Amino acid sequence: MVSRRDFIGATATSAAVIASAPALMGGSGKAFAQGQKSAPALKQSNKTKGGKWRPSYRLGQGGAPLAGSSGIRVTDQVALETLENAWNAGMRYYDTSPWYGLGLSERRFGMELHRKPKSDYEISTKIGRILTAAPEAPKTAWADPDSFDYRYDYSAEATRRSVEDSLQRLGVSSIDVAFIHDLSPDNPDFSGSDYEDYMKQAIKGAMPELTKMREEGMIKAWGMGVNTLDPILRCNEAADADLHLAACQYTLMDHEESLAKLFPSCDERGISIVVGSPLNNGFLAGFDRYNYSGNIPDGFKEKRARMEAIAKSHGTDLRTAALHFCGAPETVSSVIPGANKPNQPAENVKSMKKELPVDLWAELKSEKLIAENAPV
């Protein structure tokens, strides 16, 4: 009898072959003709000073754009080219979620990773939503999601089921990190007391269950994966997390609160931070969208223009400066920009390997564009 994972692995292999064949898909197959893979990029110890687990790589690949975030559709062909090129550029840490494209991101990452030795890479995914098959996907911001509906559940039972479901979609034997996803007051699905009710459920259910799964060896680490500060601080007080994915919270555009509250709380406990959306959903790469919204705060375009001019005067670009800025704090263990085009992962690796002049940071501080106490 063929196991579920063997069946998914075989299906993913067939899909990858089909997606890479120009005659069948109309694509170029460039991902398979760009030379030998590079050695793993930006490797580091996988332990914090406090002994907690962290990713072994300073740079990772975020998984939301490959599933159609911001309403931008990405074809199977482009997704597989992007992931193949990420591997060839030396990327070895990947972050995904059941929420991204309602399972689409996990399936696409699985097509790239399921035949590679698990010891050669690290991957994180998330819990908090259970997917169920549906005739068609509900209305969401995803451009072309899979046909699944979702419900929130932060109980112990749902947490374990969510990880197992993710393993099936990925077609891999294990994950490294499970983040508690979108348990945050900014979640547009929540109303009334939903946030508080789900937080109480997670404190009693998901958090102790993830600690138990870590002790069993099913995962190596866990934490919150959210866009706001409060749930991380609540988790730090209530449980024994290893690391948190803080999206949109520590960037060139917005970092003072993290410096004042997030980092001290985590440093006290030996917890590290994975910085998600380091470019504010593409805003710092020149796109007119900010933190998954078309609503750009007043003055931010002007601030970006000033930063761009300063970066250019010091021989670099704002995207590169933004990635370096996010990776500078000792509390930060990894930076995970997303990508929805095949060239972007290699560009991110190249950017993080560059040396930037100290005068760049001095000028940004003197112009009061970044906090005086920001690590650089």
- Answer whether residue 97 is part of any domain: yes
Q: Is 215 exposed, middle or buried (0-12, 13-18, 19+ CB in 10 A)?
A: exposed
- Answer whether residue 371 is part of any domain: no
Identify the pLDDT of residue 37.
58
Domain range enclosing 255: 4-366
- Answer whether residue 375 is part of any domain: no
Q: Is 71 exposed, middle or buried (0-12, 13-18, 19+ CB in 10 A)?
A: exposed
Number of domains in the chain: 1
- 181 beta partners: 225
Identify the pLDDT of residue 171.
97
CA dist., res. 176 & res. 262, Å (int): 23
- Answer whether residue 374 is part of any domain: no
Q: Dmax of the chain from CA atoms?
A: 67
- Answer whether residue 373 is part of any domain: no
Task: Find out whether 89 and 40 touch, Cβ atoms under 8 Å.
Answer: no
Per-residue pLDDT of the chain (376 residues; tens, 9 = 90+): 434 334 344 444 444 433 343 333 333 344 433 445 578 999 999 999 999 999 999 999 999 999 999 999 999 999 999 999 999 999 999 999 999 999 999 999 999 999 999 999 999 999 999 999 999 899 999 999 999 999 999 999 999 999 999 999 999 999 999 999 999 999 999 999 999 999 999 999 999 999 999 999 999 999 999 999 999 999 999 999 999 999 999 999 999 999 999 999 999 999 999 999 999 999 999 999 999 887 999 999 999 999 999 999 999 999 999 999 999 999 999 999 999 999 999 999 999 999 999 999 999 999 999 999 999 9
- Answer whether residue 376 is part of any domain: no
Task: Find out whether 129 and 99 touch, Cβ atoms under 8 Å.
Answer: yes
Give the residue numbers annotated as catalytic, written as ranges: 100
Among candidate residues 97, 122, 108, 106, the one with its CA nearest the CA of residue 42: 122
- Answer whether residue 85 is part of any domain: yes
Identify the pLDDT of residue 293.
82
- Answer whether residue 33 is part of any domain: yes
Identify the pLDDT of residue 38.
75
CATH assignment of the domain containing 208 = 3.20.20.100
